[in-house]
Amino acid sequence: MKKVFLGCMLIAGLGVLVTSCNNGDYNANPSKPTDVRNPLNPNSGVTIPLGRIQAQIDGSLRVFDQKAGWTDSMAETLIGQGLKYDNMHTTEFLGFSLSPYKGNTGEYYIYDSLSNDVFYGSMDTTDNTVYLLYNGKIVTGGSGQGDVNLKGTESARVRGTFSATVYQVIPTLDFSQTHQITSGEFYLPKH
């Protein structure tokens, strides 16, 4: 009798343990609305994880997921950026700025304002010296082609897509040195 009782208690305990592991529905259910953006839902405009900017730069996929985020600490301006550490002394960065930004989603074209821009470059991490900087907005020579499509700003996160032609401005202004940025995506938390 004692063995039957202990056997029943063991089975009941295992049953409680197994049911307590059920954390509810999986967040990637496209038909269920949740606070977390669903990367598997094609209608959300998000196909990358939170905290990442990625793009094809001259046909090569580059992922910038270290310290990726956005801020709107300057009046009516949204700035988003991600870093990719190449080694302990240098890092690449990719980002964008939108102004005037008033919390609105939609298409922001580089040529629409003096502050809309897409930028890419590399810098020294020890003293923050920028070695190379490429901008889509060139004040001295007009402006480049490009746009940022801001698809969402929910829960202090921004998400969307971008593309641009960027021109070298540091170390010297050189319109012949360009990079094509295509298929750009971002999904960033606020910093």
Instruction: Report the alpha-carbon distance of residue 147 to residue 10 in Å, rounded.
Output: 62
pLDDT at residue 96, rounded to an integer: 92
pLDDT in tens, 135-158: 887 654 445 678 899 888 888 888
Tell me which of 75 and 165 has the higher pLDDT.
165
- Quick check: pTM over 0.85? no
The answer to whether residue 35 sits within a structural domain is no
pLDDT at residue 175, rounded to an integer: 82
Tell me which of 56 and 7 has the higher pLDDT.
56
Are 150 and 160 contacting, i.e. CB atoms less than 8 angstroms apart?
A: yes
Instruction: Report the alpha-carbon distance of residue 183 to residue 55 in Å, rounded.
Output: 5
Least confident of 23-27, 41-45, 122-126, 137-141: 23-27
Q: How many domains does one find in the chain?
A: 1
Percent of the chain with pLDDT over 70: 72
pLDDT in tens, 94-106: 999 888 887 888 8
Arithmetic mean of pLDDT, 31-57: 69
Residue-number span of the structural domain to which 147 is assigned: 50-189
Query: Within the chain, how many helices (H) and strands (E) appear?
Result: 1, 11
The answer to whether residue 40 sits within a structural domain is no
149-183: string of b/e by CB count within 10 Å (b at 16+)? bbbebeeebbbbbbbbbbbbbbeeeeeeebbebee
